[in-house]
Structure 1
Amino acid sequence: MQIPFAPSTHSSLGVEWELQLVDPETRELTSGAIEILDELRPAGAEEHPKAKHELLQSTIEVVTGVCQTVGEAKADLAETVRTVAKAADRRGLALMCAGTHPITNWNSQKISPKPRYEQLVENLQWLARRLQIFGVHVHVGVRSPEKVIPIVNALTSYVPHFLALSASSPYWVGHDTGLASSRSKVFEALPTAGLPYQLSGWDQFESYMGTLISTRTIDSVREVWWDIRPHPDFGTVELRICDGLPTLDEVGAVAALAQCLVERLDREIDRGYRLPSPKNWVVRENKWRAARFGLEAEIIVDDKDTVVPVRRALLDLTDELMPIARRLSCTAELAGIERIVAHGASYQRQRTIAEANGGDLTKVVDSLLEEMATGL
């Protein structure tokens, strides 16, 4: 099976941000996406170009166009979020984001009435119905299909960095899971989700997808939801590992990290370097450590089984990437990683609020609503 890849001329950027619709009185996830998106849909169009349906009617995904810089992507997202927030407010709803909702039971949620989602639930049953989870996806342009798989393989070394930085789902249906990111464990239960396979090249990617499609496991490449995957239509590598982030500045930080890493790996290929392919069991262990312990995790960083705190690894990586960030005009956004590490990731902030309020998770919802509205 041949899969055309539309190469990008440079490390362009696109971001997708899955937002929750919440009733500020009950603090529960509340359906409203159909009415809001119908209101915002331009005349004669099937949907708004930058605000989309998701699986649940209590979710709206906002997306950027093709951007050159992280600053441009943030401005793009901010404009769409303002538009969506006004329409939500007219219906008594507010926006927030985290990897999970602290208190709402997934059983109470309505599925969006679109054939794609109805088929997903029919195929995956309970696994799909409980997908009350929210993420941030970052697309970075890649210059040729020959580079994509080596870059995906190399990026798996940074799965714990992205997950620890973005971890925001300690709660599930009113209970503390003990994890920093329960979302990542819920999502990887899907048969085509989780960590990507270490493939040898684009031809093996085509072979793998051809097998899934010919055996009717999936209908299209879009149904393989790896933590990091090629996106042939967009000509990008898509990083899907991040939990939903409560603030635009945090979105900017992970977008800058993604763009700088892909740019560095792309240039290393141009210089003739062979990109590393980390051992699968190390990648899997590191992902678990980040999901369990977040920024408190210690991760394996080399073939000698050296273990370092992920905080230190993140700060060292930020320093290493600063020259690239200057070329990509995202130094301020990349520096945001230091602020998150100092201030605490979302899972830590949520637990601090809960502890200060006797375990009352409605106060956690209030804090997430406030962070979305005002930043950190």
Structure 2
Amino acid sequence: MSLGPFTKSGALSIGVELELQIVNRHNYDLMPCAPDLLRLLQGRKLPGVVTPEMTESMIELATGICTGYDDALAQLTEIQGALVEAANKLDVGLAGGGTHPFQHWAQQRIFDKPRFLQLSELYGYLSKQFTVFGQHVHLGCPDADTALYTLHCISRFIPHFIALSASSPYVQGEDTGFHSARLNSVFAFPLSGRAPFALSWEDFERYFDKMTATGVVKSMKDFYWDIRPKPEYGTIEVRVMDTPLTITKAARIAAYIQTLGAYIQRERPFEPQEDDYLVYTFNRFQACRFGFDGTFVDPATREHRTLREDLIRTLVRLEGHAADCKSDVALRELLADVSVRGNDAEWIRKVFVREHHLPEVVRQQAGRWMD
């Protein structure tokens, strides 16, 4: 199968996708209610779409093409309103968070859709364990080579996105010690991790042709990379974020990615190298495990600093581009998270320390998302 041409898109346009938990309002366990939610939303005019995900206790919303932070937040708010209305009719809750704190994977049902059933047949129990919830952000690129350049530059900031969005400290009723345990489930898939180092679309097409020739992949959907090009949209898709607990946080993270894209595409601050990836997995792990307190190794200088320090440096450096992108308010709020408030994983842990009851934690998570 051919990769196809790289579609022209608006440079630095963004799109946001959020996978949500559907929960029972009695015990706050996951509830297989996606088919009913989708039925209630059928025919409703929205700025984006709501679609099924791997299991029936998940649902995904996606905006249309957004110009920036205000547009993304407006679209997310409208879709959220429709979802909350449908959920209330069914007496179910909707929640953010990268993992459900106490659901058991064996109880999940695969959504009855050919692709999901094929994946279940291929990956076995991993498919049900893939009941985890992420945010994906698409960033528009003017051409294919710019897309690959942006992809490899923005890979340096993957730990930032993980720490900012982290919201999955509990799995199967246990505190994992991680801020983002969700990515451990993603990493179990054989085609996960980082994209191959290719800076020209011609080189990437050769790689793709070799992979399809093996019979291992049929399309870009078969790659679960942290960032992957999406030629049919003319974007790169950043996929490492946990679903935040609020749509406002999700829109702020999307604004940060857009602003980084502006910095990278306009200034071309460095030329990515294969050796940049020597510390990639280490930095990624540190962000998952320790959040803002993780160690960050600068891929260019080999300097060690905390992820918090690197985030603050970067957010300050982006102030001019943030003003241009009208994302300055969003980035100031993220700076407050890094400096003072902490991330959603820390909030979830604080609620559990106070309540000593994971269903109550989920009830409050659902309250935050649905409000």
TM-score of the pair, normalised by structure 1: 0.93
Cα deviation, 1:10-53, whole Å, max 9, x if unaligned, reads 2111000111111121110101111111221118x9x9951111
Q: Report whether the alignment pairs 1:72 with 2:45.
A: no
Deviation of the 1:2 alpha carbon: 4.9
Cα deviation, 1:54-87, whole Å, max 9, x if unaligned, reads 1111111111111111110111011111101111
Q: Report whether the alignment pairs 1:325 with 2:326.
A: no
Which of 271, 274, 286 pairs up with 1:274?
Answer: 271
Q: Is the 8 A contact 2:47 2:64 kept in 1?
A: no
Which of 288, 298, 303 pairs up with 1:306?
Answer: 303
The residue number in structure 2 matching 1:346 is: 344
Distance 1:2 1:194 in 2: 20
The residue number in structure 1 matching 2:289 is: 292
The 1:278–1:251 alpha-carbon spacing in structure 2 relative to 1, beyond 3 Å, is farther
Deviation of the 1:228 alpha carbon: 0.8
* Greater Cα offset, 314-323 or 13-22: 314-323
Distance 1:344 1:2 in 2: 41
Deviation of the 1:121 alpha carbon: 0.8
**SS in structure 2 of the partner of residue 279 of structure 1:** helix
What 5-or-longer segments of structure 2 have no aligned partner? Answer: none
The residue number in structure 2 matching 1:190 is: 189
* Greater Cα offset, 177-186 or 112-121: 177-186
Which of 353, 356, 367 pairs up with 1:355?
Answer: 353
Q: Report whether the alignment pairs 1:165 with 2:153.
A: no
**SS in structure 2 of the partner of residue 137 of structure 1:** strand
* Greater Cα offset, 303-312 or 283-292: 303-312
The residue number in structure 2 matching 1:20 is: 21
**SS in structure 2 of the partner of residue 199 of structure 1:** coil
Q: Is the 8 A contact 2:279 2:299 kept in 1?
A: no
Q: Is the 8 A contact 2:103 2:172 kept in 1?
A: yes
**SS in structure 2 of the partner of residue 238 of structure 1:** strand
**Aligned residues: CA RMSD:** 1.9
Q: How does 1:1-376 map to 2 (within 5 A)?
A: 1-42=2-43, 50-269=49-268, 274-275=271-272, 279-341=276-338, 342-358=340-356, 360-374=357-371
Q: Is the 8 A contact 1:315 1:337 kept in 2?
A: no
Deviation of the 1:275 alpha carbon: 4.3
The 1:149–1:119 alpha-carbon spacing in structure 2 relative to 1, beyond 3 Å, is same
Distance 2:10 2:76 in 1: 23
Deviation of the 1:113 alpha carbon: 0.1
Q: Is the 8 A contact 1:167 1:291 kept in 2?
A: yes
* Greater Cα offset, 80-89 or 1-10: 1-10
Distance 1:326 1:357 in 2: 41
The 1:14–1:278 alpha-carbon spacing in structure 2 relative to 1, beyond 3 Å, is farther
Cα deviation, 1:177-236, whole Å, max 9, x if unaligned, reads 111111111101111122222224222221222222222212211221211111101101
Cα deviation, 1:263-313, whole Å, max 9, x if unaligned, reads 1111134x9x63455522201100010111111112112444211111121
Distance 2:17 2:156 in 1: 22
Question: Which amino acid is the alignment partner of residue 350 of structure 1?
Answer: I
The 1:110–1:2 alpha-carbon spacing in structure 2 relative to 1, beyond 3 Å, is closer
Q: Is the 8 A contact 2:48 2:75 kept in 1?
A: no
* Greater Cα offset, 208-217 or 30-39: 208-217
Total equivalences in the alignment: 369
Question: Which amino acid is the alignment partner of residue 206 of structure 1?
Answer: E
The 1:329–1:277 alpha-carbon spacing in structure 2 relative to 1, beyond 3 Å, is farther
Distance 1:281 1:302 in 2: 7
Cα deviation, 1:80-115, whole Å, max 9, x if unaligned, reads 111011111111101101000001111111111000
Distance 2:137 2:300 in 1: 28
Q: Is the 8 A contact 2:167 2:345 kept in 1?
A: yes
The 1:15–1:249 alpha-carbon spacing in structure 2 relative to 1, beyond 3 Å, is same
**SS in structure 1 of the partner of residue 66 of structure 2:** coil
Distance 1:137 1:152 in 2: 14
Q: Is the 8 A contact 1:198 1:280 kept in 2?
A: no
Distance 1:218 1:242 in 2: 24
Distance 1:29 1:4 in 2: 40
TM-score of the pair, normalised by structure 2: 0.95
Question: Which amino acid is the alignment partner of residue 328 of structure 1?
Answer: C
Distance 1:198 1:135 in 2: 24
Question: Which amino acid is the alignment partner of residue 152 of structure 2?
Answer: N
